[in-house]
Chains A and B, each alone.
Chain A
Amino acid sequence: MRKIAKRRKDELEDEMLNRFSDELLRAFEAGEAEISTAAASPFLYRRIRVRIEAEERRLARQRGAWLSLLAGVKHAIPVMAVFAVVAVASLMLTRSQQLPGPGIANEEPTLMDDVFSFSQDELIASAAGLETGQPKNGGGTK
């Protein structure tokens, strides 16, 4: 019973607050004269035109910037292509110069130069232990 009474009281309160809310909304409502005054405000259309023109100029500048960027890219592409071709060609030329040719390899000084500078006779003599001035046992200890 108490629950029903409480619910009824809440419903009445809600209803009262809803009416007050509607009153609030009505209080916010503007009169016809006010609406017309704002709509007929002097220079309103002029201000709109000025802002439209400013926006159009901004868009045109933006388009212009893009177009000049594209034009720049259009000119840059052949130049960059030439650079790329020159770079690739010079790289290939350098590589081909660095590749070991038939007569070139022997001319390069290496650590093994001394070994390969022996004559064939000297190598045979060394292998057989017949080298002049060298002890037969190779100078080793007994």
Chain B
Amino acid sequence: MPAEMTGKMKEEMTDDELVAAARAGDESAFSRLFERHRRLVSRLGYRFFPRRDQVEEIIQESFIKAYFALDDYQGGGEKSFVSWLARIAVRTCYDELRRARRRGESSIGDLNEDEAAYLHERLRDLSANGNVEGAAISRDLANKLLSRLRPDDRMVLALLKLEELSIAEISNLTGWTTAKVKMRSHRAQRGLRQLLRKLL
């Protein structure tokens, strides 16, 4: 009965209370935080990485970083922990994007002839009749094209277009100034257009 009660209490505890318990050494409190927010981190991971193993790695890395940074968490607001964890996850994704780029993973050079021909055809269709909906681009192909962008540009573009965040929210999440976010968004869109123009 007491264990059941403790479990029930954990369910009702706020994030800040769970953080305080985890700081005090309560392992189950951190486990509860993980249960509560792992989906958020998974969703953020899928904004930048196409494979499940990559996303699982982002989830692990983000929660490990969060665990060791619990003492730095200040809390106070209702959504404080979510914002704090999202910042850690976004930072982890950004670091991983940079590492992947350094390793030279998935560059435009990886596009095989069929993919290049397919894209060319789709862009021609689009140019002729303006029908985007039938583009039917595979995720792998999209990843190959998007990974040509600089990690910071890609980060801003994904948060802006997929997460539908405002410039101020992206600025808060990444720690970059709003001017920097605007500039990167503009540069990312221009970069993508140039990339596609080459395939036209």
Nearest CB of chain B from residue A35's CB, rounded to whole Å: 5
Nearest-neighbor residue (CB-CB) of A47 within chain B: B60
Asked, given contacts A25-B146, A38-B42, A45-B31, whether A51 binds B64 with beta carbons under 8 Å apart, the answer is yes
**Is B10 an interface residue when CB atoms closer than 8 A count as contact?**
no
Identify which of B71-79, B108-116, B137-145, B170-178 touches chain A: B137-145
Judge whether A25 and B142 touch: CB under 8 Å: yes
A20 interface residue (CB < 8 Å to B)? yes
Q: A19–B131 Cα gap in the complex (Å)?
A: 10
Q: Which candidate, A10-18, A62-70, A99-107, is the interface stretch facing chain B? A: A10-18
Q: Which residues of B contact A45 (CB under 8 A)?
A: 31, 34-35
- Nearest residue, chain B, Cβ from A59: B68
Q: A39-B39, A39-B41 are in contact. Are A25 and B63 (CB under 8 A)?
A: no
Contacts of B138 on A, CB cut-off 8 Å? 27
Structural contact, A25 and B52, CB atoms closer than 8 A: no
From DSSP, what is the main secondary structure of chain B's interface residues? helix
CB distance from A52 to the nearest CB of B (A): 6
Known: A34-B52, A48-B63. A23 touches B38 (CB 8 A): no
B64 touches A25 (CB 8 A): no
Contact indicator per residue, chain B 179-200, by CB within 8 Å of chain A (1) or not (0): 0000000000100110011000
Whether A36 touches B39, Cβ cut-off 8 Å, given contacts A21-B196, A25-B158, A45-B31, is yes
CA A23 to CA B119, docked complex, whole Å: 12
B67 and A52 within 8 A (CB): yes
A30 at the B interface (CB under 8 A) = yes
Given A16-B130, A17-B197, A48-B63 in contact, is the A38-B56 Cβ separation under 8 Å? yes
Query: How many residues belonging to A are interface residues under a CB distance threshold of 8 Å?
Result: 33
> Does A76 reach chain B (CB closer than 8 Å)?
no
Q: Does A108 contact B (CB under 8 A)?
A: no
A28 is an interface residue with CB less than 8 A from chain B: yes
Contact residues in A for B122 (Cβ distance below 8 Å): 20
Q: Which of A53-96 contact B (CB under 8 A)?
A: 55
Are A21 and B189 in contact, with the CB atoms below 8 A? yes
Chain B residue with the shortest CB-CB distance to A40: B38
Whole-angstrom CA separation of A36 from B142 in the bound complex: 22
List residues of B (103-143) whose CB comes within 8 Å of A's CBs.
122-123, 126-127, 130, 132, 135, 137-139, 141-143
Interface string of B137-174 (1 = CB under 8 A from A): 11101110110000000000110011000000000000
Nearest 8 pairs between A and B by C-beta? Answer: A30-B46, A39-B42, A27-B137, A27-B142, A28-B142, A17-B193, A39-B38, A21-B192
**Chain A residues at the B interface, C-beta cutoff of 8 Å:** 13-14, 16-30, 34-41, 44-45, 47-49, 51-52, 55
